[in-house]
Amino acid sequence: MRVIEIEGGSGPAQALQISERPTPLPGPGEVRIRVRAAGVNRPDLLQRQGGYPPPVGASDILGLEVAGEIEATGDGVTRWRPGDRVCALLGGGGYADYAVVDARHVLPIPAGLDFVHAAALPETLFTVWANVFEAGGLKAGETLLLHGATSGIGVTAIHMAKAAGARVIATSRGADKARAAAELGADVSLDATKDDLAAGIATEGGADVVLDMVGADYAELNLKALKPGGRWVVIATLTGAQARIDLMRLMLKRIVLTGSTLRARPAHEKARLAQAVESSVWPWVEQRKVAPRIEATFPLARAGDAHARLEAGGHVGKVVLTLD
């Protein structure tokens, strides 16, 4: 089967090259998916650059989410049959013609949704559910402050928060992105390049939950923005992982600060999340209240160009690889 290998090189186009590997066999409790589309995510970029090695036991092939058809099943798999249209969360292995995955991490593609859009769902839905709704405890009537609002996760967080009856204050860089966040459903959309973010958030009464993909540069802003009893959830540190925090203010406002990653979670935890997403979020997907926005698609052989598009930072939504 075709796979994308990390060959080194000075840039993504040189580093990511087509190669051949044997088609994997599904083990007990696993399925093999004929991949039709694979989502491209920032952790893929970090892995290519050597900064995010796969967890022990995970494939070294890039790709954390795919959509396609079940092609084979291992012993003990009862839910899925060959030909089923599915999407799946992977620990790795998505940039390939075939991917093997724990059958519990697979979800059915809703009727009418194509493979490209389905491949853009798992990583963002699992991430937003685990962090905004489970760790952050966002409820109807509360306010979510979302940084990086036009990323794939940002778009999904806007949709899911609105579907749950919450308000959204979005921040992004540039007038075009701020306008896009508003069009996606954000109640308030601030341009970080020209707006006074602290004043704009304060005018709206602050936030109950912050989904932070920025890191160090926004630590003080988040602390000011959160209401008493607020929840601050960190899932990326684009501007650095080291920040100074006024712990007394954290205590006085009774703020909960937490963070997580998704890829390294154990299989049983991802299975639990899959069940929660299917029961709580999948109805929103079926109703198109939650829908990925696709910035661009690239064929598998142009995976390097897909990485370059994501690295450029001008995207709104997801970049997806397609496989014939």
CATH of domain 125-259: 3.40.50.720
* Alpha-carbon gap, residue 312 to 305, rounded angstroms: 10
* Alpha-carbon gap, residue 233 to 134, rounded angstroms: 10
pLDDT at res. 116: 98
Identical fold between 2-121+263-322 and 125-259: no
* Alpha-carbon gap, residue 162 to 149, rounded angstroms: 13
Tokens for 258, please give them.
């937490």
Query: What angle is formed at CA 267 by the lines to CA 263 and CA 269, rounded to 5 degrees?
Result: 85
pLDDT at res. 239: 86
Q: Which amino acid is at 35?
A: V
pLDDT at res. 167: 98
Tokens for 262, please give them.
């998704």
pLDDT at res. 223: 96
Residue whose structure tokens are 């003080």: 220
**Closest by Cα among 138, 121, 27, 52 to 320:** 121
* Chain centroid, CA 48 distance in Å: 17
Domain ranges of the chain: 2-121+263-322, 125-259
Task: Please indicate, yes or no, whether the overall pTM of this predicted structure exceeds 0.85.
Answer: yes
Q: Are the beta carbons of 142 and 211 closer than 8 angstroms? A: no
In the chain the beta strands, taken as DSSP E runs, fall at 2-6, 16-20, 30-40, 65-73, 85-89, 98-102, 106-108, 143-147, 167-172, 188-191, 207-212, 226-234, 256-259, 294-299, 318-322
* Alpha-carbon gap, residue 279 to 273, rounded angstroms: 10
Q: Are the beta carbons of 278 and 143 closer than 8 angstroms? A: no
> DSSP assignment of 249-292, as one string?
HHHHTT-EEEE--STTS-HHHHHHHHHHHHHHTHHHHHTTSS-P
pLDDT at res. 313: 87
Residue 180, H or E segment: helix 175-184
Phi, psi of 317 (to 5 degrees): 100, -145
> What Rg, from alpha-carbon coordinates, does the chain have?
19
Q: What is the pLDDT along the chain (324 residues), one digit of tens a residue?
A: 999 999 877 689 889 999 999 999 999 999 999 999 999 999 999 999 988 889 888 999 999 999 999 999 999 999 999 999 999 999 999 999 999 999 999 999 999 999 999 999 999 999 999 999 999 999 999 999 999 999 999 999 999 999 999 999 999 999 999 999 999 999 999 999 999 999 999 999 999 999 999 988 999 999 999 999 999 999 988 888 999 999 999 999 999 999 999 998 999 999 999 999 999 999 999 999 999 999 999 999 999 999 999 999 888 999 999 997
Q: Are the beta carbons of 143 and 287 closer than 8 angstroms? A: no
CATH of domain 2-121+263-322: 3.90.180.10
Cβ within 8 Å of residue 275, ≥6 positions away: none
For 267, counting Cβ atoms within 10 Å of its Cβ (0-12 exposed, 13-18 middle, 19+ buried), the class is: middle
pLDDT at res. 60: 95
pLDDT at res. 30: 98
Count Cβ neighbours within 10 Å for each residue of 147-167 and write b for 16 or more, e otherwise.
bbbbbbbbbbbbbbbbbbebb
Residue 201, H or E segment: helix 197-203
